[in-house]
Amino acid sequence: MKTLADYAAALVAGTTTSRDLVEQSLARIADPAGEGARVFLRVDAAPARAMAEAMDGLRRAGLAPSPYAGIPFALKDLFDVAGQPTPAGSRALLAASPASAHAPVIARMLAAGMVPLGRVNMSEFAFSGIGLNPHFATPRSPWQRPAGQAGGHAPGGSSSGSAVAVADRMAPVALGTDTGGSCRIPAALCGVVGYKPTARRVPIAGVLPLSPSLDSVGPLAPSVACCAAIDAILAGEPPPLLQPAALAGLRLALPTNLVLDALDPAVADAFERALGVLSGAGARIERVAFPVLDELAVINAGGGLTTAESFAWHRALIAERGDAYDPRIRTRIERGSRQSAADYLDVLAARARVIAAMNRASAPYDALVMPTVPLLPPRIDDLADDAAYLRVNGLLLRNTAIANFLDRCAISLPCHATGSAPVGFMLMGETLGDARLFAIAAAVEAALIPVREG
């Protein structure tokens, strides 16, 4: 896949135009043999063409607002766009009033001159790590995708459409959100890069909430550098001067508890091969137990922050339009009705304690490493049973949710060989250590690319 740098260079050289890029994206979206109808819930073709023409004119005049002006992007269906409703992948909000203003992150993307193609599919209300959507169909992972319209493998959620849009080159990059892994899980299951920033760096105003204590906004893209570039735009920061870290001497901690449980053999093999490559390049992989991680399941057994905060937002809508919800999503949200204020405060206190303990335990290391998810993309047909759905959902969220609860940044990048099942390699940094994590991830990516390409 081409990177943002590739597109930016082509625009500068005049070998392509923004209008060309938009037309290429629209053609892929409209391809009846592709996933466009499942991925895009709304295509804004005319506005995209008009903005592309405007960006081409500004570039000819030497007034392009950023190096990425004119490059298209897709956005998850929970961002406010002025004049459009924000359904969040649900039928319950299809008739909602249009947003009166852009979410700040959308305004920043537009100010950089990037061209929105439309809204993409997602798990309803972002409340699933699998990516199924019974209302608008489910985009399918690129892995072993059947030629027909039935079957296939789940894309991961909740930013399912964002991941498939990038993997299928319908959009060079896409915006997602990440409350328990919703950028990183679909990135892992679709073979792209997904980034979760330190949450406070990027505004979540104008983004339909799941759990404001845990919600973050991040990019899905072909490369680490692409994610770093979009992350800077979202955070209102200058373009990054991304220099890969030196792998030799890096101390990378691999937790020996929790995160390696129940690994699919293919995931374990790809992950261990990646560790071997990094070790061969001089990185020090230290396998160490972090007992505090074993507390997370107990702390969140009653639903944690997610169900409490989600129910607080949804209770009025459920009372009015509850029959329009996916029953699986509604049932999980309604768990929050059984949590007391004392329960909620207990989770907040436990979170503060766990963050402090983990900060002390991980201080000697440059980053933590682990498989992004323990599973390969699950077959959609195997998730019809509620028990199977809940089991798979829990496993997919297990590793990624750690970074959200610890208020840290994290990134997933592919570590599988080309043509084999997608496997994500996750790096987790420190709170507000985003720049350092990007540098480490860029070095890891460079080391793994030759192995992936064989």
Catalytic residue, candidates 18, 25, 76, 211: 76
Catalytic residue, candidates 162, 182, 211, 216: 182
> For residue 429, which of 184, 242, 224, 252 has the smallest C-alpha distance?
252
Does residue 141 have a cis peptide bond before it, meaning omega lies within 30 degrees of 0?
Answer: no
List, in sequence order, every beta strand (DSSP E) within 272-354.
284-288
Catalytic residue, candidates 18, 128, 141, 158: 158
Q: Is the dihedral of CA 336, 340, 344, 346 positive or negative?
A: negative
DSSP-derived 3-state class of residue 99? strand
Other beta carbons within 10 angstroms of residue 276's beta carbon come to: 12
Quote the CA–CA distance of 180 and 128 in Å, as a whole number: 9
By CB atoms closer than 10 A (0-12, 13-18, 19+), residue 10 is middle
Q: In this structure, which amino acid lies at residue 147?
A: A
Cα dihedral 316→318→319→324 (10° resolution): 140
Half-sphere CA count of 258, side-chain side, radius 13 A? 23
Locate 263 and state its tokens.
């690994």
Quote the CA–CA distance of 169 and 287 in Å, as a whole number: 37
Residue 340 is among the residues annotated as catalytic for this protein: no
Quote the CA–CA distance of 219 and 46 in Å, as a whole number: 24
Token pair 């995708």 in the structure block, residue: 145
Q: Which three-class secondary structure string do you get for 73-88? A: EEEECCECCECCCCCC
Query: Concatenated DSSP letters for 250-292?
Result: -EEEEESSSTTTT--HHHHHHHHHHHHHHHHTT-EEEEE--GG
Residue 158 is among the residues annotated as catalytic for this protein: yes
Residue 2 is among the residues annotated as catalytic for this protein: no
Residue numbers annotated as active site: 76, 158, 182
